[in-house]
Amino acid sequence: MASWNPDAPCSCDCFVSVPPASAIPAVIFAKNSDRPRDEVQEVVFVPARTHAPGSRLQCTYIEVEQVSKTHAVILSRPSWLWGAEMGANEHGVCIGNEAVWTKEPVGEGEALLGMDLLRLALERSRSALEAWHVITGLLERYGQGGSCREDPAPFCYHNTFLLADRTEAWVLETAGRLWAAQRIQEGARNISNQLSIGTDISAEHSELRTHALAQGWWGGQGTFDFAQVFSLTQQPVRMEAAKARFQAGRELLQQQRGGITAEVMMGILRNKESGICMDSGGFRTTASMVSILPRDPTQPCVHFLTATPDPSRSVFKPFIFGAGAAQAPQVLSPTFGAQDPVRTQPRFQTQVDRRHTLYCGHQDRGQQLRRKQQDLEQEGLEAARGLLAGEWAPPPQELGTLFQAFVERESQVYA
């Protein structure tokens, strides 16, 4: 079994606001991806595709069966792996994941990473409900496992997910192949590296309670509290810290209840006092994302991504699926083919430079140019407001290239 180091990195925070908690008729999704300090996160656009019958798909460690059609996706991902920490698809589905440790043992065997499950769900679903069905189906068939960082020492965990679309959200929490899900139809919700579904279970694995009973974790009588039954009895220090972040995040959402906007979510992601904006030793927030998912299906969803570390000094740039959507080369990391340390055996014995152009510029000079960054971000927010208010109606081709235009302008700021 993989050992868990109480000082190992293990933090992320996901948020969602469903009307009437939102200030506008839209679901608003947000996530900070907290990862090893030097890990580079890239933003990748993958267009919709069709696939031949019987096709196989190589994920980070294992192959799975491919489906006949995959949807277009925008992903924010650690550049060494196939999956993603967070992302959205062309149908307005957003997903973020979190590391979690439970009483169910975590093994070192290679299977699907939680980040692989996230991308697979985005590529194969048209709603949050369909997405969690995709994840639980793949989880049952292939399991989850494998090291989740680019390091010879294995670092393994199970996953929780926050899934959202234009109408609702779901929290999906796993322990090995087992899981529980909670439907969020109104209000605000957050998750932070711990089991948070108690007795309000909307759906669950068919063997969840019988397994808990067989293990002696539950007596079989009375109310079944998933978090209480499956959480570790002795919580390590970092998981106790996650409780504090979870509580702080919930309070920040409650303070803004009824007035939550994309800007409010960006402010929460930038909150350092709570630890939500992480910068601790070898660990920090390496990328962030906020999405506006309007209830009106005729309005486009707007996804803001940083592609750079520390949202307090990064620019949230708007992405909209459209006819001209394409990969922005400045936020794409270099590739190393068969010689990539994740592909050679044994894995991760060497290191490579995965920094993309925007990452390098941001790292070198971002702190000195905060005012220009803020002005650029405000332009993006104003463009989104004008679009959703019907005050700005650019041609679809222009919408699709919006993110690339903002990335190019940010690159010029650092030039």
For 223-240, the DSSP string reads: ---HHHHHB-SS--HHHH
pLDDT at 1 over 70: no
Check if the beta carbon of residue 238 is closer than 8 Å to that of residue 7: yes
The stretch 165-174 carries a mean pLDDT of 98
Give me the pLDDT at residue 241, please.
77
Distance (Å, whole) CA 171 – CA 188: 12
If pLDDT is split at 50, 70 and 90, which confidence band does 397 have?
confident
Each domain of the chain, given as residue ranges in start order, spans 12-413
Q: How confident is the model at residue 224 (pLDDT cuts 50, 70, 90)?
A: very high
Cβ count within 10 A of residue 365: 12
| pLDDT reading at 8 higher than 50 | no
Look at residue 241 and give its three-state secondary structure: helix
* 121 SS3 class: helix
Find, among 258, 257, 261, 251, the residue nearest to 290 by Cα.
Answer: 261
12 labelled catalytic:
yes
Say how many C-beta atoms besides its own lie within 10 A of residue 371's C-beta: 8
**pLDDT-based confidence at residue 298 (cuts at 50, 70, 90):** very high
What are 253-282's pLDDT values in tens digits?
999 999 999 999 999 999 999 999 998 778
* Amino acid at position 13, single letter: D
Banded pLDDT at 110 (limits 50, 70, 90): very high
Q: What pLDDT is stored for residue 365 in this prediction? A: 59
Three-state DSSP state, 286: strand
Q: Say if pTM beats, i.e. exceeds, 0.85.
A: yes
Is 12-413 a CATH 1.10.357.10 domain? no
From the candidates 10, 12, 148, 156, give the one annotated as an active-site residue: 12
Confidence of residue 7 (pLDDT cuts 50, 70, 90): very low
Instruction: Give 331-386 pLDDT, tens digit per residue.
Output: 999 999 999 999 999 999 999 999 999 999 997 555 568 899 999 999 999 999 99
φ, ψ of residue 372 in degrees (nearest 5): -65, -35
* Percent of the chain residues past pLDDT 90, beyond the cut: 87
- Alpha-carbon radius of gyration of the chain: 20
The mean predicted confidence, pLDDT, of the chain is 94
Q: What are the DSSP calls for 19-66, one per residue?
A: TTSBSSSEEEEEEEEEEETT--EEEEEE--EE--TT-EEE-SSSEEEP
Contact 36, 283 (CB under 8 A): yes
**In this predicted structure, what is the pLDDT of residue 3?**
33
Q: Is the pLDDT of residue 18 over 70?
A: yes
pLDDT value of position 396: 83
Q: What is the mean pLDDT of residues 110-135?
A: 98
Q: Kindly tell me if the per-residue pLDDT of 194 is higher than 80.
A: yes
Whether pLDDT at 4 is above 70: no
Q: What is the pLDDT of residue 280?
A: 77
**Looking at the predicted structure, is the pLDDT value of residue 2 above 50?**
no
Query: How confident is the model at residue 162, as a pLDDT?
Result: 98
pLDDT of 242: 86
